Amino acid sequence: MASHRRPKQPSRTRVSVLTATAAAAVALTSQGAAQAAPKPSKDEVKSKVDALYEDAGRATDKYNGAKEKQEKLEKQIGDLQDKVARGQEELNDLRGGLGSMASAQYRSGGIDPSLQLFLSSDPDNYLDKASALDQLSSKQVESLKKIQEKQRDLAQQRKEAAGKLDDLADTRKELGRKKQEVQGKLGEAQKLLNTLTAKEKQALAAKEQKRASRAADNRADLGKEAPASNRGAAALAAAATQLGKPYVSGGSGPNSYDCSGLTQWAYAQADVSITRTTYTQQNDGTKIGRSELKPGDLVFFNNLAHVGFYAGNGQVLHAPKPGAVVRYESMAYLGTFQFGVRVA
């Protein structure tokens, strides 16, 4: 017969040993993880944050491009819908006129059989029957042709509007994705900044303040270079009135700006229309090298991630990055220079 003795309970000493062993294992694991991923230094955090801001700038530019496309599509769709509405009114008037002719014929002795045929069917099919044309008056033929042409125009305009509505739906989806990408990059940067101690944050803020102060000092050292053009000079002067305004992703003035928002706004004050993004602004004028730069030219950096105004003496007036304001800054601090663009 099987024994039914209760299993022996582990002693308190054994439990304590097991607990201590488990705790030690957890501590060693944690220590190993800490050793595998040491806390990044202040400079490493800054470098990663700057890279994320650059990525966010690129994503912002694509967001701005999608937004610009959306606005253009909405205008085009509105214009097409207005044309369709006006065209439908004209078509109704033409049909009404032809109906009046039919009524007059009826009162004077009956409707022309060919006209009666038209009023009960599609004029396209009817006009294809050339043998019936001789039964119509020249005025009726002209009216039928106008109706046929107007119907074709309306069909084409409706088709075009439908296509643009589909494009608009796709663009709105893209806009949402790009907005999420920008917010994700900025959120990631903020998480990294949050890993810093208060002392490290103060050190970074002091460094940024020193850089901003140095940029302000550079305002008096722009040299006396001749501007690229009168309009370039006017755009640069307009941008200078925005010094101190904050950088905001997607900002296009007058209260905040991103880099391409500032350049577009400033050129608009000089009665020059340029596009919204760095990717398109590079095509808004003639590309030039560094040695050819003059005040008022656009300057591009870091694979089109950034744009600003060349202000003279190696200085750039721009909207730098999140947390900064519109300011002057040496080209030496802005990364890899690509090219300048002289706007006509």
For 38-103, the DSSP string reads PPPPHHHHHHHHHHHHHHHHHHHHHHHHHHHHHHHHHHHHHHHHHHHHHHHHHHHHHHHHHHHHHH
List 294, 306, 327, 342, catalytic entry: 306
306 has catalytic annotation? yes
Residue 93: pLDDT over 70: yes
Choose the weakest-confidence range: 88-92, 187-191, 208-212, 241-245.
208-212
Question: Boundaries of CATH 3.90.1720.10 in the chain?
Answer: 223-342
Average pLDDT value for residue range 311-319: 95
pTM over 0.85: no
List 259, 274, 316, 317, catalytic entry: 259
Mean pLDDT of the chain: 79
pLDDT tens for 125-144 read 555 554 444 455 666 777 77
Q: How confident is the model at residue 306 (pLDDT cuts 50, 70, 90)?
A: very high
Fold designation for 223-342: endopeptidase fold (from Nostoc punctiforme) (3.90.1720)
Choose the weakest-confidence range: 33-37, 68-72, 216-220.
33-37
CATH number of 42-195: 1.10.287
Amino acid 132: pLDDT: 47
Of the candidates 343, 342, 259, 257, which has an alpha carbon nearest to the alpha carbon of residue 302?
259
List 164, 245, 318, 327, catalytic entry: 318
Amino acid 6: pLDDT: 52
Question: Boundaries of CATH 1.10.287 in the chain?
Answer: 42-195
259 has catalytic annotation? yes
